Structure 1
Amino acid sequence: MRTVVVGTRKSALALTQTGWVMDRLREANSRWELRQEKIVTKGDRILDVTLSKIGGKGLFVKEIEQALLDGRIDIAVHSMKDMPGEIPDGLVIGAVTRREDPRDCLITRSGQSLEELPSGARIGTSSLRRQAQILAYRPDVTVEPVRGNLDTRLRKMQEGQFDGILLAVAGLSRMGWQDRVTQALSTDIMVPAVGQGALAIQCRADDTEVLEGLKKINDPETERAVRAERAFLHAFEGGCHLPVGAYAEETGGLIRLIGMVAHPDGQKVLRGTVEGTEPEQVGRTLAQQLLEKGAGELLSALREGMSR
C-alpha cells in the first residue's frame, strides 16, 4: 500500500470536488491509501479585494503547488479554470476529469432572466471576463464586485446587495444546487473561462506511480479540449483572471474552439472561432487571429492600469 496525500482548498465546493476525485482514485487504484490535506490559498485569505487587483495568476493554486513541490502532498485537485497558463517546473497535470456543464449562469432574486432585468439592475461578479461580456450584452445594468464562496455570494444576493449574481453552472451542479439557476447563459452571450467545468489533477512530474494512477481517471476528450483552450490562454501570458475566455468542443476528431478577449467595460469584445485536429495548434491559431485584431494592446493597457 502507498499513502497518497491529496491537497485541496478548504471551501465546501473544493472539498466536494476533491472527495469525488478521491472516490474515483480509490476505485482505480486499490493499493493506494488516500489522505486529504486542506490548504488555504491567497485567494481564500483575501476576500475584500477583487481578484484582478491582488495578482490574478495562481491565486487559488500557488500554495497548493508549493506543497506538491515540497513533498507535503502527492496530488492536488484544482478547478481547471483557476490554473494559470504556466505550470511550475517539476509539476504536470496528470489527469483532466470529464467536463461538467461549462456555461456561466445568472441567479436572480426575482427569477427574471438577463433580458428581463430592469435597467440599472445590480449584478455581482468578481470576474472581469463575466463583467465584460454582461456589459457588452446589457450595457444598462450595473456590475459590482462580490467575493466569497458560493454560500456567501448567494447569501449576499438574498440579503439585497445584488439583484443577481453570475456563477459557473458546474460548481452549482457539483453541490447539487442546479435548481437555483435562473438562466444558463449560452456561449453566444458568455464565453466560459478556460477549462471551466473540468478539474485539473496535478502531481510531480517525476512521480511515475502517481502519474500512472492518474491516467486511469483521465478523460481524453475533455483533456484535448482543455489543451486547446490553455494554448489560447498561454498566448496572452496566462492570466486566468484577465477578461479572456475560451471553449472547445470535439466532434469526430475535429476540435472547434471559440475565444474571447475583452475590455472590462464591455465596449470592446474580440471574438473568433477556429477548427482543427491538433489542440495546441488550434489554440495558438485563434490567439494569433485575436492578437492581429488588437487583443495584445487591449490586455497590455489593462495590465498597466491594474499595476498603478
Structure 2
Amino acid sequence: MRKIVVGSRQSALALTQTGQVIADLERLAAEHGMEVAFEVHKIITKGDRILDVTLSKVGGKGLFVKEIEQAMLDGRIDMAVHSMKDMPSELPEGLMNGAVPRRVDPRDCLISRDGLTLEQLPSGARVGTSSLRRSSQLASLRPDLRIEPVRGNIDSRLGKLASGEYDAIVLAAAGLHRMGWLDRVTEYLAPSLCIPAVGQGSLGIECRQDDAELRKLLALYNDPATAVTVEAERAFLGALNGGCQVPIGAHAVLEKTGAAGGSMTLTGMVGTPNGGTILRESRIGDDPVRLGLEVAAALRAQGAEAILAEARG
C-alpha cells in the first residue's frame, strides 16, 4: 500500500480543505483499485507567522506555499492542497499542479455586523480586507468607506468583526462554503462589481513531477472545465507579473458550463490601490494561455503597466 503524506497549513480552513480532498481521493482510489493511505503533515508558513503586516508588504504570493513546496522537494511530503489564489504563477522546478478539482463559488462576499449590504453601509463605515484587489475595487465603488487591513484566518477575522473592530469584512465565498459558514454571508459581490482573485474558489493539488503513481491518481480528480479557466487566469497573472503587492484580478467563464473545451470569456482588472483608477478588459477565446496574454496586452494598452509599477513601489 502506498502511503501519501499531505502537507497542510494549520488553519481550520486549510485542514478542512485537505480533509475534503483526501476523502475524495480515497473514494477515487477505491473505485480504481488503488491501495493508498494518507497522512497529514502540518506545516507553518511565513504567511501564518506574520499576522501584523499586510500581505502586500511582506512578499505577497508564495507566503503560504514556499515552506510546503520545500518539504515536497525534500521528500518530506508527497503532495499539498493549496487555495489556487495563494499560488504564484510559476511553480518551482520539479513540482506541478497534479489536479485542479471542481471550482466552488469564485465571488467575494460581504459580512456585516448589522446585516447591511455594501450599498447600505453608512458613510465612514469600517470595512476590513487584507487584499489590495478588494480594497481598490471597494474604494472605487464606495470612496466614503474606511477600508482597513485585517489579517488572520477566517475565524479570527469573523471574531474581529463580532467584537466591533469592523462594521463589515470582505472574504472569499469559497472559504466560507468549505467551512459550512455560508449563513454568515450578508451579500455576494458580483464579479461585475468586484472581480475575484486569480484562481479564487479553486484548489491546486501540487505534487512532484516524477511521482508517476500519485499523478495517476490526481489525474482522476482533475476537473477539465475548472483547469482551463484557471489556466487562462494564471496566464493573465503571469503576463503582468502580478501578485498580492498589486491590485489585480481575473475571472474566466466557459460559455458552455461544464465543457472542457469551447470558448470562454476572460475579464481582467488592474487598479490603483486607492481605487481612483480601475482598468477592466474582457476577451473571448478558446486557447486559455493566448486569451490570458491578450487580456494582459489590452490592459497594458490602457496603461496598466504604469499602475503596476507604481503599486510595486
Do the two structures share a fold, i.e. TM-score over 0.5? yes
Query: Aligned runs of 1:1-308 on 2, under 5 Å?
Result: 1-29=1-29, 30-252=34-256, 253-304=262-313
Q: Distance in 2 between matches of 1:207 and 1:294?
A: 43
Q: Distance in 1 between matches of 2:185 and 2:61?
A: 29
Q: CA deviation at 1:56?
A: 0.8
Q: CA deviation at 1:62?
A: 0.6
Q: CA deviation at 1:302?
A: 1.1
Q: Distance in 2 between matches of 1:111 and 1:287?
A: 37
TM-score between the two structures when normalised by the length of structure 1: 0.97
Given that 2:135 and 2:273 are in contact with CA atoms closer than 8 Å, whether structure 1 keeps it comes out as yes
- Partner AA of 1:168 in structure 2: A
Q: Distance in 1 between matches of 2:140 and 2:195?
A: 12
Q: Distance in 1 between matches of 2:300 and 2:8?
A: 35
Given that 1:83 and 1:240 are in contact with CA atoms closer than 8 Å, whether structure 2 keeps it comes out as no
Aligned-partner SS, 2:266 = strand
Identity of aligned residues (%): 58
- Partner AA of 1:290 in structure 2: L
- Partner AA of 2:39 in structure 1: R
Aligned-partner SS, 1:152 = helix
Aligned-partner SS, 1:259 = strand
Aligned-partner SS, 1:171 = helix
Q: CA deviation at 1:55?
A: 0.7
- Partner AA of 2:2 in structure 1: R
Q: Which runs of 5+ in 2 are unaligned?
A: 257-261
Q: Distance in 1 between matches of 2:167 and 2:244?
A: 26
Given that 2:245 and 2:311 are in contact with CA atoms closer than 8 Å, whether structure 1 keeps it comes out as no
Aligned-partner SS, 1:216 = helix
Q: Distance in 2 between matches of 1:107 and 1:231?
A: 31
The ranges of structure 1 where at least 4 consecutive aligned residues each deviate by more than 2 angstroms after the TM superposition are none
Deviates more, 1:257-266 or 1:237-246: 237-246
Q: Distance in 2 between matches of 1:172 and 1:259?
A: 24
Q: CA deviation at 1:233?
A: 0.3
Q: CA deviation at 1:242?
A: 2.4
Structure 1 residues 168 and 241: alpha-carbon distance in aligned structure 2, compared to 1, 3 A threshold: farther
Structure 1 residues 231-266: Cα deviation after superposition (integer angstroms, max 9, x where no partner): 000012142452110010112311111110111100
Aligned-partner SS, 1:84 = coil
TM-score between the two structures when normalised by the length of structure 2: 0.96
Given that 1:57 and 1:84 are in contact with CA atoms closer than 8 Å, whether structure 2 keeps it comes out as yes
Q: Distance in 1 between matches of 2:278 and 2:147?
A: 17
Q: Distance in 2 between matches of 1:179 and 1:84?
A: 31
- Partner AA of 2:94 in structure 1: G
Q: Distance in 2 between matches of 1:272 and 1:89?
A: 32
Aligned-partner SS, 2:47 = helix
RMSD: 0.8
- Partner AA of 2:95 in structure 1: L
Q: CA deviation at 1:57?
A: 2.7
Structure 1 residues 142-180: Cα deviation after superposition (integer angstroms, max 9, x where no partner): 100100011100110111110000000010011110010
Q: Distance in 1 between matches of 2:187 and 2:310?
A: 33
Q: Distance in 1 between matches of 2:279 and 2:215?
A: 38
Q: Distance in 2 between matches of 1:142 and 1:20?
A: 37
Given that 1:81 and 1:240 are in contact with CA atoms closer than 8 Å, whether structure 2 keeps it comes out as no
Q: Distance in 2 between matches of 1:5 and 1:43?
A: 22
Aligned-partner SS, 2:106 = coil
Structure 1 residues 256-283: Cα deviation after superposition (integer angstroms, max 9, x where no partner): 1111011110001110101000111110
* Aligned residues between the structures: 304
